[in-house]
């Protein structure tokens, strides 16, 4: 019997436990390893006996701080020869929003104009270079769940939001207006092992559409263009499991982020068993 370990900061996500249930239905053993458990100690001789690790952790802002502990923990397990799905380089890429945008743009995928900034002066240079108008978006490159994403509507707000930018890894982005009939509706498409599983639209009164912030979902009809776009993103990021976040406009689609540990609650809400698809892929890779 193969054993799969899910790494989770605290195990509070329903997606973690739903995935464990689907893995066990397939006859595999599944453990949830909590990084926050008081008995966890990553010592120099620590080992984790498992056939495959699926990490729900990366580098991100939690409780207003950037944690490197989970990232160091993952890399230490790699030293021990542990196998990961998604690969560690994919975990890093999707954690670092600026690197991700650079990769997508280099490969002719439309993204918002974006810059990594050190301070207010860098932000002003960016606006002037690309002849942008307010609002613009300021976010931490390693932000999670929309918690470190802000809109600057004028230069005073821009100055305030870019404080400590060089220390916090902040980026500035062109604002893409994707509002429809008074509501913001972006797209989340899930790719698992080279197959588009499904997608939904996240609906919000605010430009931050994350479900973590209490927003709702509606089913997305995925056309050929969207399918090709999602599969190309998965190929470029070398992801087995990938959530692709897209901003639709009248003329085009903009890829805004990639997520290597996408939540599955939204898919359950529209009747898609994404956990089963992910579980099947993990078991296949664990057996290799």
Q: In this structure, are residues 267 and 200 in contact, taking their beta carbons and an 8 Å threshold?
A: yes
Q: In this structure, are residues 22 and 33 in contact, taking their beta carbons and an 8 Å threshold?
A: no
Give pLDDT, residue 123. Answer: 98
Cis peptide before 135 (omega within 30 of 0): yes
Give pLDDT, residue 211. Answer: 67
End-to-end Cα spacing for the chain: 13
Give pLDDT, residue 34. Answer: 93
**Alpha carbons 135 and 3: distance in angstroms, whole number:** 49
| 121 CB neighbour count, 10 Å cutoff | 12
Q: In this structure, are residues 169 and 120 in contact, taking their beta carbons and an 8 Å threshold?
A: no
Residue 281: phi, psi to the nearest 5? Answer: -65, -45
Give pLDDT, residue 59. Answer: 77
Instruction: Report which of 117, 116, 119, 112 is spatially closest to residue 135, judged by C-alpha positions.
Output: 112
Q: In what order do the strands lie in the sheet with 170-174?
A: 114-116, 170-174, 136-140, 149-152
Query: What domains sit in the chain, N to C, each tagged with a CATH number?
Result: 3-85+281-287 (3.40.50.20), 94-110+178-272 (3.30.470.20), 114-174 (3.30.1490.20)
**Alpha carbons 206 and 63: distance in angstroms, whole number:** 21
Give pLDDT, residue 69. Answer: 87
Instruction: Report which of 234, 215, 219, 208 is spatially closest to residue 270, judged by C-alpha positions.
Output: 219
Give pLDDT, residue 33. Answer: 96
Quote the tokens at residue 128.
């002037």
Give pLDDT, residue 105. Answer: 98
**Alpha carbons 206 and 191: distance in angstroms, whole number:** 26
Give pLDDT, residue 62. Answer: 61
Give pLDDT, residue 210. Answer: 74
**Residue 178 parent element (H or E):** none
Give pLDDT, residue 64. Answer: 54
Give the global pTM. 0.94
**What tens-digit pLDDT sequence spans the chain (288 residues)?**
999 999 998 887 899 999 999 999 999 999 999 998 999 999 999 999 999 999 998 777 665 555 788 899 999 999 999 999 999 999 999 999 999 999 999 999 999 999 999 999 999 999 999 999 999 999 999 877 667 899 999 999 999 999 999 998 999 999 999 898 888 899 999 999 999 999 999 988 877 767 666 678 899 999 999 999 999 999 999 999 999 999 999 999 999 999 999 999 999 999 999 999 999 999 999 999
């Amino acid at each position: 019997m193969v054993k799969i370990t899910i790494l989770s900061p605290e195990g509070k996500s329903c997606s973690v436990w739903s995935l464990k249930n689907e893995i066990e239905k397939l006859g595999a053993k599944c453990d949830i390893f909590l990084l926050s458990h008081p008995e966890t100690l990553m010592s120099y001789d620590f080992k984790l006996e498992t056939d495959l690790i699926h990490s729900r952790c990366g580098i991100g802002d939690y409780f207003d701080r950037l944690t490197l502990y989970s990232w160091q923990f993952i890399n230490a397990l790699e030293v021990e020869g542990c196998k990961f799905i998604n690969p560690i380089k994919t975990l890093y890429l999707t954690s670092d929003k600026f690197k991700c945008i650079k990769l997508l743009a280099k490969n002719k995928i439309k993204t918002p104009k974006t810059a990594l900034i050190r301070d207010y002066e860098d932000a002003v240079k960016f606006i002037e270079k690309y002849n942008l108008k307010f609002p613009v978006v300021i976010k931490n490159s390693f932000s999670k769940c929309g918690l470190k994403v802000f809109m600057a509507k004028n230069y005073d707000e821009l100055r305030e939001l870019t404080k400590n930018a060089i220390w916090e890894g902040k980026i500035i982005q062109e604002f893409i207006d994707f509002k429809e009939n008074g509501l913001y509706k972006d797209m989340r498409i899930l790719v698992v092992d080279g197959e588009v599983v499904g997608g939904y639209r996240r609906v919000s009164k605010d430009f931050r559409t994350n479900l973590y912030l209490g927003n709702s979902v509606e089913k997305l009809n995925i056309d050929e263009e969207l399918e090709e776009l999602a599969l190309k993103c998965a190929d470029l990021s070398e992801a087995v499991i990938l959530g692709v976040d897209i901003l639709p406009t009248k003329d085009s689609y903009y890829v805004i982020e990639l997520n290597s540990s996408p939540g599955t609650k939204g898919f359950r809400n529209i009747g898609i068993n994404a956990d089963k698809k992910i579980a099947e892929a993990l078991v296949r890779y664990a057996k290799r």
